Amino acid sequence: MNPNDPHRHVVLRGVSPRRLRAFAGLALVVLALGGWGLFALGRSGIGAGDTGPMSSPAALRQAIRERDELIDSLRRSAAELDTFKAAQNPERQEVSRAIGELQAEVARQRQQLEFYKGVVASAEPAPNVAIRSLRVETSTGKGQAQLRLSLVQPGNPQSLVSGQVKVILEGARSGRFVRIQLLKIPYNFRYLENIDRELSIPAGVSPERLQIEIEPSGGSGRSVVQSLLWPL
């Protein structure tokens, strides 16, 4: 065919579908990468015009100062609370001691009432020993307590009385009720006898009640039993 022929035909070839799909896929990849880059730039806070609350060193220093002030305030509040608790401990001990003394007084009066009722209405021999006072106080050692017991002969004593005092602790261990004899103390007096003993609380036992059992020797009188709620 002569290229100078005015009647020559011009053939136009279009883009094949395979190449068109390749170009479209490439364009999508470029757009996706560009969008991800802009998103990451925005999250990093370094884009133009960033005015976030932490965008400057001054704002960061101000936030740190506010945090330190809050921490100092919380520390002061905790110290004041500890001081308040420490001031209340002596008051609690005093209240506990007063409750123990009142319980002992009520128990003593109840014991005297039972004694006189027995004298009037019973033919059984009356107790020849009564509990004048009973207290349990705190001790310096861990798991220790101090027993203060005062025994007296009611009425007009004419002779010596003797026997033994059993000190029994009632409480709980591993969720079960236990009854443990802590002491067995002999007595022998005419008018009055004071007994001071240190009590050792067995490990793992939560005390609930202390029971005093007085057993006269020789069958000379009735036994005396008195309980006291654990005051400590």
DSSP state of 53: T
Is the pLDDT at 168 greater than 80? The verdict is: yes
- What is the mean pLDDT of the segment spanning 124-143? 80
Q: CB–CB of 107/209 below 8 Å?
A: no
Phi, psi of 23 (to 5 degrees): -65, -40
pLDDT of amino acid 58: 82
pLDDT tens figures, 86-120: 777 777 777 777 777 787 777 777 777 766 665 55
Domains and CATH numbers, the chain: 91-229 (2.60.40.150)
What mean pLDDT comes out for the span 182-199?
90
Distance (Å, rounded) from C-alpha 120 to C-alpha 115? 9
Give CA–CA dist 163/153, Å, rounded: 13
* Residues above pLDDT 90, as percent of the chain: 12
Q: Is 88 exposed, middle or buried (0-12, 13-18, 19+ CB in 10 A)?
A: exposed
144 in helix, strand or coil?
strand
State the pLDDT at residue 232. Answer: 59
Of residues 229, 191, 198, 195, the one with CA closest to residue 214:
195
Which pLDDT belongs to residue 117? 64
> In the structure, what pLDDT confidence band is assigned to residue 37 with cuts at 50, 70 and 90?
low
Q: What are the angstrom distances between the C-alpha of 173 and each of 35, 81, 205?
A: 70, 33, 5
Nearest to 181 by CA among 166, 195, 171, 196: 166
- pLDDT digit string (tens) for 44-63? 554 444 455 555 778 888 88
**Structure-derived torsion over alpha carbons of residues 131, 132, 134, 140, reported in degrees to the nearest 10:** -130
- Distance in angstroms (rounded) separating the CA atoms of residues 232 and 93: 8
The full length of the chain comes to 232
The reported pLDDT for the residue numbered 40 is 54
pLDDT of residue 150: 92
Question: 42 pLDDT exceeds 60?
Answer: no
| Residue 10 pLDDT | 45
pLDDT at 126 over 70: no
pLDDT more than 70, % of the chain: 69
pLDDT band at 181 (very low <50, low <70, confident <90, very high): very high
For the entire predicted model, the pTM comes to 0.47
Query: What per-residue confidence (pLDDT) applies to 139?
Result: 77
